[in-house]
Amino acid sequence: MKNVLALLSFLLVSANSAQASIDETINNLTAPIATWLADIVFFKIPFFGTGLPVVVLWLVVGAVFFTFYTGFVNIRGFKHAIQLVRGDFSNPNDHGEVSHFQALATAVSGTVGIGNIGGVAVAVTVGGAGATFWLIVAGFLGMSTKFVECTLGVKYRSEFEDGHVSGGPMYYLKKGFAERGMPKFGKVMGTFYAIGIFLGALGIGNMFQSNQAYVQLNNVAGGRLDGLGWLIGLILAIVVFLVIMGGIKSIARVTEKIVPFMAIFYCLFAVIVILMNIDSIPQAVANIFTGAFTGEGVAGGALGAMIIGFQRAVFSNEAGIGSASIAHAAVKTNEPVTEGVVSLLEPFIDTIVICTITALVIGTAQVADPNFAGDATGVAMTSAAFERKISWFPIPLAFAGVLFAFSTMISWSYYGLKGWTYMFGEGDIGQTFYKFVYCIFVALGSMVQLGPILDISDALVFLICVPNIFGLYFLAPIVKAEMNSYFARVKSGEIKKYR
């Protein structure tokens, strides 16, 4: 027993000192690449005294275009989306297939994460209350981008002999451009996207999540987990391993049930906290609107608030990045448009509903007590806003944060896998190798300092929206034709309503 303890303490000490040098090496190696890449991807054009990242502009212009081009499908398709999710158009003969609700829930659990809790706090700190307004606007416009990319994801997926499917931007880029007589260009774009989503999955979808999960747990434990990141990382890696290797379905089943429950639980308590601040609501809402157009106290004024809001919305709902398109492509359906219509609801739930309530929790707390959170920002700030009214809430909140991070890791493991199989084929050995590597990165995520690594993956995820949106512009006429035909058939009753 003594020996074991001695060994353990030795391991702990050496792990700590080794950790410092590993961190240093990794930082030294990656920092220059990160700076270089971030400088390119997040290149800012000077704009009325503030910097406008080109990539954010690229995404927003795309979203505005698709909103107009589809004739405001984000409004027109909304009711139909709810009907589809409720199963009004599901043929009982097809029961047992993936339902629209399941496709939506899976895609949403990939996007609902730390961003909804902490990202909003960052937006409000940097961009003021007004950033919330632009966050909502961006979420609204993002619905159209999602519609276009998810429709294409289904339309251009590849189906293999054993019945499994692979789809997503890499496939519609490759096939879509080939159809238009540009096969080589399509191949380059597809591969570029596949590499980006693969590396992005390892970083933002994996290491960042595992790191945040550790930070959450450590905060709740009052710092008692300092230096134990490797242990938390190892545990997370093992759990993720069990889920994605497919051996143990029960964990997936349990988490996938807890995650939506946590999301509802979070929203419910957020609303309760907002109501407990009832006196501050009018002022908080007023701040959102005035801040949006005056940008008081924000660097860059109203424009600064707008940029921050847009940026956070994209981070949160991933519209334009194309990730949800990969998840939706897995669903069997004869009508690609149905998946697009359902996916409309993702930015709505993620950004317009969840992010907005978080913003209101923080906003009402700020009105009551401008310094409620001290210097805290990110998740800690949101947590403090809850704590003001419900003292025990930080603990379940941290728990929710860990679960959100976990479900995001599971979803992104799939996105990364599809990037991998696109590049290296559908072979089982390759897939297993990928999953193994993925789990190693989960463990690494809470062990090493993320700084530059995260910057690289962040940049890559935004970089892939360049080929993606480019492809969306190019293939938009196909989506429009499909959409018009589909809605016409719904109207004429050719697509039958079963309920």
Amino acid at 456: I
Query: Per CB under 8 A, which of residues 399..438 are in contact with another protein?
Result: 410-411, 414-415
Distance (Å) of CA 9 to CA 3, 4, 215, 498: 10, 9, 22, 65
Q: Least CB distance from residue 205 to another protein, whole Å?
A: 12
458 binding another protein? (CB under 8 A): no
Q: Do 323 and 108 form a contact (C-beta atoms < 8 A)?
A: no
User: How far apart (Å, rounded) are the C-alpha atoms in residues 193 and 173?
Assistant: 9
Q: Which stretch binds another protein (CB under 8 A): 16-24, 36-44, 63-71, 157-165?
A: 157-165
307 binding another protein? (CB under 8 A): no
Choose which of 249, 293, 432, 477 interacts with another protein (CB under 8 A): 249
Encode burial over 13-41: b for 16+ CB neighbours within 10 A, e otherwise: eebeeebeeeeeebbeebeeebeebbeeb
Residue 140: closest CA among 362, 353, 357:
353
325 binding another protein? (CB under 8 A): no
247 binding another protein? (CB under 8 A): no
110 binding another protein? (CB under 8 A): yes
Q: Which stretch binds another protein (CB under 8 A): 241-249, 296-304, 457-465, 489-497?
A: 241-249
Q: Which stretch binds another protein (CB under 8 A): 91-99, 127-135, 384-392, 446-454?
A: 91-99
Task: Enter the DSSP assignment of 478.
Answer: H
Q: Least CB distance from residue 95 to another protein, whole Å?
A: 4
Residue 77: closest CA among 486, 481, 493, 495:
486
121 binding another protein? (CB under 8 A): no
Contacts of 242 (CB under 8 A, 6+ apart): 248, 251
Other beta carbons within 10 angstroms of residue 373's beta carbon come to 21
118 binding another protein? (CB under 8 A): no
Choose which of 30, 50, 74, 106 interacts with another protein (CB under 8 A): 106
Q: Do 270 and 360 form a contact (C-beta atoms < 8 A)?
A: yes
Q: Least CB distance from residue 459 to another protein, whole Å?
A: 24
Choose which of 46, 163, 222, 370 interacts with another protein (CB under 8 A): 163
Choose which of 15, 98, 376, 390 interacts with another protein (CB under 8 A): 98
Other beta carbons within 10 angstroms of residue 238's beta carbon come to 13
Q: Which stretch binds another protein (CB under 8 A): 55-63, 70-78, 250-258, 266-274?
A: 250-258
Contacts of 422 (CB under 8 A, 6+ apart): 166, 168, 170, 171, 190, 191, 194
Q: Least CB distance from residue 349 to another protein, whole Å?
A: 14
Amino acid at 165: V
| Total site size for another protein, rule CB under 8 A | 40
Nearer to another protein, 323 or 364 (CB): 323
User: How far apart (Å, rounded) are the C-alpha atoms in residues 59 and 63?
Assistant: 6
Contacts of 155 (CB under 8 A, 6+ apart): 172, 336, 478, 482
Distance (Å) of CA 274 to CA 137, 378, 397, 486: 22, 19, 16, 41
Nearer to another protein, 164 or 224 (CB): 164
Nearer to another protein, 210 or 323 (CB): 323
Nearer to another protein, 165 or 276 (CB): 165
Nearer to another protein, 126 or 170 (CB): 170
165 binding another protein? (CB under 8 A): yes
Q: Which stretch binds another protein (CB under 8 A): 75-83, 228-236, 329-337, 466-474?
A: 329-337
3-state helix, strand, coil split of the chain in percent (to 5) is 80, 5, 20
Nearer to another protein, 21 or 334 (CB): 334
Nearer to another protein, 93 or 492 (CB): 93
186 binding another protein? (CB under 8 A): no
Contacts of 20 (CB under 8 A, 6+ apart): none
Long-range contacts of 489-495 (CB under 8 A, 24+ apart): 490/80, 490/89, 495/89, 495/335
Choose which of 15, 57, 82, 252 interacts with another protein (CB under 8 A): 252
Residues that bind another protein (CB under 8 A): 87, 90, 92-93, 95-103, 105-106, 109-110, 162-165, 243-244, 246, 249, 252-253, 256-257, 259-260, 326-327, 330-332, 410-411, 414-415
